[in-house]
Structure 1
Amino acid sequence: MKKILVIHGPNLNFLGIREKGVYGEMSFNDLNEYLLKTGEEMGLSLEIFQSNSEGALIDRLQQAYFDGVDGIIINPGAYTHYSYALRDAISSTNIPTVEVHLSNIHKREEFRHSSVTAPVCIGQIAGFGAYSYILGMHALNMKLNEK
């Protein structure tokens, strides 16, 4: 069974509370239950981690290397646009990583259009709400099965 780490960045713990017009009504707990159920159906072992702290996210990415994680799904939140430290942590693990976003970052404010983390990921999926994560799991699973 492949080990997949799902990392939620800043403010994702406020899903269902903040900006419902942008991020939807689904709560953070409901999203995680949805991911765990879908992962199980796909034969994946999921671990879920969330932090609002850049350092904690970097620490968890580095720990993934030592834990033998096969793949990572990450929603870096606002760190997407400026965290070179997070970018370097993703790159240094050499673990296939998919960047996901609930909203279509390319249809939002100009500063959200660029990602410093996407270039070190195998791909980016945005704009499909919670299903962005599921699409990311499918893409990551396909990539892992190519090896």
Structure 2
Amino acid sequence: MATDILVLNGPNLNLLGKRQPDIYGHETMADVERGCRSVAREYGFTIDFRQSNAEAQLIDWVHEAREQHRSIVINPAGYSHTSIALMDALSAFSGPIIEVHISNIHRREAFRHLSYVSKVASGVICGLGINGYSLAVHHLACHLNKQA
């Protein structure tokens, strides 16, 4: 079944709320998903929410999205800085893509300042905690409404 917005989460985000809460906060993936679904519901849109630690799985989901989804929110996590393959997969997606990072990657280690995904994303939200996801869904819902 086709959905409007695919929300993808990369490696280690399954540990959200437990791993480095001083950086990523105490909220969990369930909290992120609830927030995304709530915003999407306000606009009458559907969400498909997924997380994987495997790069190949994320790439496969992006490939599927070409036929099944109208837009993508992605937190590629560590793959932001390493995965040209994920960037290439996203570049084949014709809808809008919003990249989200919970922390401000530009205030962290130098290797985090480069994101390959940013090169193909329509927009980037970072440093706003899990609220960045809701903002991304809000933006995409407004964008999709203009297309209707």
TM-score, normalising length from structure 1? 0.93
Amino acid at match of 1:49: R
**Match for residue 111 of structure 2?**
111
% of aligned pairs identical?
Answer: 42
Cα distance change, pair 141–38 in 1 and its aligned pair in 2 (3 A): closer
Deviation at 1:78, TM superposition (A): 0.6
| Structure 2 counterpart SS, 1:4 | strand
Q: Does 1:120 align with 2:120?
A: yes
Cα distance change, pair 142–34 in 1 and its aligned pair in 2 (3 A): closer
| Structure 2 counterpart SS, 1:58 | helix
Deviation at 1:142, TM superposition (A): 2.8
**Match for residue 51 of structure 2?**
50
Deviation at 1:42, TM superposition (A): 2.5
Equivalent residue pairs, number: 146
**Match for residue 76 of structure 2?**
76
TM-score, normalising length from structure 2? 0.93
Deviation at 1:34, TM superposition (A): 2.0
Q: Which moved more, 1:36-45 or 1:102-111?
A: 36-45
Q: Following TM superposition, where does structure 1 have runs of at least 4 consecutive aligned residues deviating by more than 2 angstroms?
A: 141-147
Deviations 1:11-36 (A, max 9, x none): 11100110000000001212212221
- Unaligned stretches of 5+ residues in structure 2: none
In 1, are the aligned partners of 2:98 and 2:136 still within 8 Å (CA)? Answer: yes
- Unaligned stretches of 5+ residues in structure 1: none
**Alpha-carbon distance between aligned partners in 2 of 1:56 and 1:2, rounded to the nearest angstrom:** 19
Amino acid at match of 2:100: V
In 1, are the aligned partners of 2:99 and 2:123 still within 8 Å (CA)? Answer: yes
CA RMSD across the alignment: 1.5
